[in-house]
Chains A and B, each alone.
Chain A
Amino acid sequence: MIRDITIGQYYPADSILHRLDPRVKLLGTFLFIISLFLFKSFFGYIVVFIFFASAIGLSKVPLRFILRGMKAVLVLFIFTVFFNLFFLPGEEIFRWGIIRITDNGLYKALFMGIRLSFLILGSSLMTFTTTPNQLTDGLEKALKPLNYIKVPVHEIAMMMSIALRFIPILMEETDKIMKAQMARGADFETGGLLKRAKSLIPLLVPLFVSAFRRANDLAMAMEARCYRGGTGRTKMKPLCYKGRDYAAYTIIAIYLGLIIGTKLLERAGLLFYL
């Protein structure tokens, strides 16, 4: 049940996307997310879709697995679409009782839906193909210049990697505690909102206790290994670019070019009816 949440998880596979340098993937994901918010017409999303679909194809992560990531944010997704669809002012195109849909609402709901799903799927594709360690290594290296303006880049990266590392551990823990309480007759699934919220107490209290216990243990273990931040620290596997990384940068540059081109066309009003 709890394992259905796949956001932030790593999916081990042997694909070109898995082998890419994390910095490439970070930049790629960043540009991809920005590109989602550029367009006002559907044509732009065709370009986005082609790019994303080929990335999924290359990643060798099963589509079913990727789509499962949407389940976790389904509520948010439905909310967004729902409010856009029914509550935006505009020219009425449909009416049934108090329900009315306007052209503006329909259009906004559609776009928000598309953007939100691409946003979630895109960022989860990155975490599927990149281990938390690689991710923070990449982030640390890419943000290194910020050290000069006294941003504690290493510490931030460390915090992030710990947080990411803890996600699966806490999920497993949740699963275990849930089962243990169900074995004592706890019921998490039926009842009204209040009853359900109350039934979470036997789950949340042990979960927090265990999270603090683990955090304590980890702090102690780091202390015992004389950890004292990033100064003077070297890496066992320093990141360095390979041929495929330059190739990927080229592809990202082409994507960027296409996006900008499409945007310009849209601006010029040539694609308005698409």
Chain B
Amino acid sequence: MQIIFDKVNYIYGKGTAFERHALKDISFCINKGEFIGLIGHTGSGKSTLIQHMNGLIKASSGSIYFNGEDIYAQGYNMKQLRSKVGLVFQYPEHQLFETTVFKDVVFGPLNLGLDKLEAELRAYEALRMVGISDDLLDASPFELSGGQKRRVAIAGVLAMKPEVLILDEPTAGLDPRGRDDILDQVTKLHEEAGMTIILVTHSMEDVACYCDRLFVMNNGELVFQNPTKEVFAHYKELEEMHLAAPQVTYVMNMLKEKGWNVSCDATTVEEARDEIIRALGSMH
């Protein structure tokens, strides 16, 4: 088990009028190589939760283990943790600062204390991975389009070669094409490099398509941490949390109500298609 949370609580602004219990008794574990989807309505604590994973926020109580080591132990190397657990913030393009795209991506690996050549190699590789072409390397990051900026920012984290990659709503505000590009690249990293992925998103379709397991947050509590299909079977409860299941789930449930002999497991369009064809076949 790679990441373990044991009864983690976090309270913002403790002892002031702004006090807010953002995480309540969160416990879970994440195995190496998993693809986790994290969903929950706005303000449910998703961003707070993921910032604990690389030690940017220190839990008010509870413990967190990474690769078997307590990250709050005396003398634990936080900098190393941050290089192993790459965190891409929401709207990461807002953190670009260098004069060229390449220099911006090299910032992370250089901070790790790598020598210049190695750092540049990694930056180059990362930019390739996110599909930024070579002619953009010397452009100013501020001249790029929104989608390109975001890919550069993601490359900035990938260049550190993390074992775990956390993305906070990486597709917010992107067009469908940009969205698919980014998610496909993330899947590739998952499959080829065996990276553990934690994806925060509002799109149930994305979650259904990519994730093995789904974490559902509601008002600071972790309500579900089950395989994706199991969670969507509870779509009525999800609705009470201002969430929803993929549209396909609704279609299948309606068909079933109409007396069709289909299972409601399907969460992607392809699965639904196969299931409906099967049902049609068995009807004749």
A-to-B contact residues, CB < 8 Å: 3, 11-13, 62, 64-65, 176-177, 179-187, 201-202, 205-206, 209-210
CB-contacts of B90-139 with A (<8 A): 92, 94-97, 107-108, 111-112
* B82, CB-defined interface residue at 8 Å: yes
Known A13-B17, A179-B51, A179-B56; judge A184-B108 contact (CB<8 A): yes
Known A62-B16, A65-B16, A209-B142; judge A183-B94 contact (CB<8 A): no
Report the 10 A-B pairs with minimum CB-CB distance, sorted nearest first. Answer: A185-B111, A205-B97, A184-B108, A180-B95, A183-B87, A180-B89, A202-B97, A179-B56, A206-B97, A206-B95
Do residues A183 and B54 form an inter-chain contact, with CB atoms below 8 A? yes
Which of B51, B79, B96, B111: most chain A CB closer than 10 A?
B111
* B156, CB-defined interface residue at 8 Å: yes
A3 to chain B: closest CB distance in Å? 8
A33–B121 Cα gap in the complex (Å)? 60
Do residues A183 and B97 form an inter-chain contact, with CB atoms below 8 A? no
Known A11-B17, A12-B17, A179-B89; judge A185-B95 contact (CB<8 A): no
Told that A179-B51, A180-B89, A183-B54 touch, could you supply 14 new A-B pairs with CB distance under 8 A? A11-B17, A12-B17, A180-B92, A180-B95, A183-B87, A184-B107, A184-B157, A185-B82, A185-B111, A186-B107, A187-B79, A187-B111, A202-B107, A209-B94
A175 to chain B: closest CB distance in Å? 10
A11–B56 Cα gap in the complex (Å)? 26
B-to-A contact residues, CB < 8 Å: 13, 15-17, 51, 54, 56, 79, 82-83, 86-87, 89, 92, 94-97, 107-108, 111-112, 142, 156-157, 160
Do residues A206 and B96 form an inter-chain contact, with CB atoms below 8 A? yes
Do residues A185 and B56 form an inter-chain contact, with CB atoms below 8 A? no
Q: Which B residues touch A176, using CB under 8 A?
A: 89, 94
For residue B157, which residue of chain A has the nearest CB?
A184
For residue A185, which residue of chain B has the nearest CB?
B111
Q: Which A residues touch B51, using CB under 8 A?
A: 179
A43–B96 Cα gap in the complex (Å)? 56
A181–B82 Cα gap in the complex (Å)? 11
Contact of B82 among A11, A12, A183, A201 (CB under 8 A): A183
A112 to chain B: closest CB distance in Å? 30
Known A184-B157, A185-B112; judge A206-B94 contact (CB<8 A): yes
CB pairs A–B below 8 angstroms (30 shown): A11-B17, A12-B17, A13-B17, A176-B94, A179-B51, A179-B89, A180-B89, A180-B92, A180-B94, A180-B95, A183-B54, A183-B82, A183-B89, A184-B82, A184-B111, A184-B157, A184-B160, A185-B82, A185-B111, A185-B160, A187-B79, A201-B97, A202-B95, A202-B107, A205-B97, A206-B94, A206-B95, A206-B96, A206-B97, A209-B142
